[in-house]
Amino acid sequence: MLKIIIMILDKNGKHTHVSQYSYLGKSLLPIRKNSVMIEMRVICFQNDIFMQNTIIINQNRYHILQKPLFDNLSMKVRKTIMNLHIFQNQQELNEAGAGIITSLVQMQPKAVLGLATGGTPVGIYEELVKAYDKGRVSFKSVTTFNLDEYVGLPVDHPESYHAYMQQHLFAHIDLPAAAAHIPNGNSADLDAECERYNQLLEEAKQIDLQILGLGHNGHIGFNEPDHSLISGTHRVELKAETREANARYFNSINEVPSHALTMGVGTILKAKTILLIVRGADKAEIVHRALTGPITTEIPATLLQTHPHLVVLLDAEAGRFFE
């Protein structure tokens, strides 16, 4: 039996358990007396740079985890632990995703939502708008924070994430404009803009539900693979593969901005619940690696394995390695 403890080390290397990370949640198997193996995932912030390491404690001996822990578990157990659901059709997935969001907002009208862009959540936003039109949910007291925005793309450019959010969600619901936050990629001072966004996030305390898509290279938001990851909102240079992947939304790759502002992985992982949505055969391998492979900053989405309340919705194509 396994017990997963998430521990945060502060900048000085002091151990500080942060309650939302000390996980003994419902989707894990109950912990039995005399359990012999404890897995501890240690996350360190060093000068605000995100590093990670994974350690297994077997009784009192410490071992660096060399191979994925999940190797030893059956697929059924893995799926339960990961709260992973595979849908045979897109409509069911959209309804399930929208259902999770509307239930949260119904129960908690002042919820703070973390929003994603890209092709993945479009159908879920459509379902949210339908729920709003039917009077089943109101967003008038909700606050939202978008994950990211391109640098230097005018907000009225159809591919800016400002325009995307208007088109797919904001223009159709009663969310007050002042409660919808998106990083300003056109700020004259991008560092100050990141600071402003971090400040707003801090004032909001915690995102209740963070919606996430997945990049083909394992990025979340625009946190690109790297030897270390940054905790807070920052400016990022987009990888060639990300610009190529997103070129499908522009007339040509030359139009895809080279930089973006993105919420950092520290902020994403602080969300109370994370809803990861992945569709399509082209993401089957990366989502499998992200959720079952070794945790590494070279695949930022692997850090989601450390999150206490991760819910994963996959279509059948993206989920084929989990069947």
Residues annotated catalytic, as ranges: 148, 217, 219, 224
Residue 94 binds ligand GLP, judged by CB under 6 A = no
Give min distance, CB of 8 to ligand GLP, in A.
Answer: 25
Looking at residue 229, its amino acid is L
Considering only 71, 75, 89, 119, the residue that binds ligand GLP (CB under 6 A) is: 119
Q: Is 211 exposed, middle or buried (0-12, 13-18, 19+ CB in 10 A)?
A: buried
Q: Binding to ligand GLP by residue 264, rule CB under 6 A?
A: no
Count Cα neighbours of 311 within 13 Å in the Cβ-side half-sphere: 18
Q: Beta partners for 38?
A: 3, 57
Interacting residues with ligand GLP between 188 and 247 (CB under 6 A): 213-215, 221-222, 242, 246
Quick check: helix, strand or coil at residue 84? strand
Report whether 250 contacts 283 (CB < 8 A).
Answer: no
Strand ranges inside 101-160, DSSP E = 112-115, 143-146, 148-150
CB of 183 to ligand GLP, least distance (A): 11
Looking at the Cβ atoms of 33 and 248, the one nearer to ligand GLP is 248
- Interface with ligand GLP (CB under 6 A), residue from 148, 149, 193, 315: 148
Q: How far is the CB of 306 from ligand GLP (least distance, A)?
A: 19
Between 122-133 and 90-107, two packed helices, what is the crossing angle to 10 degrees?
50
User: Binding of ligand GLP at residue 120 (CB under 6 A)?
Assistant: yes
- In whole angstroms, the minimum distance from the beta carbon of 150 to ligand GLP comes to 9
Q: Which residue is nearest to ligand GLP (CB)?
A: 213
Q: CA–CA separation, 195 vs 67, rounded Å?
A: 37
> Residue numbers of the site for ligand GLP (CB under 6 A)?
116-120, 147-148, 213-215, 221-222, 242, 246
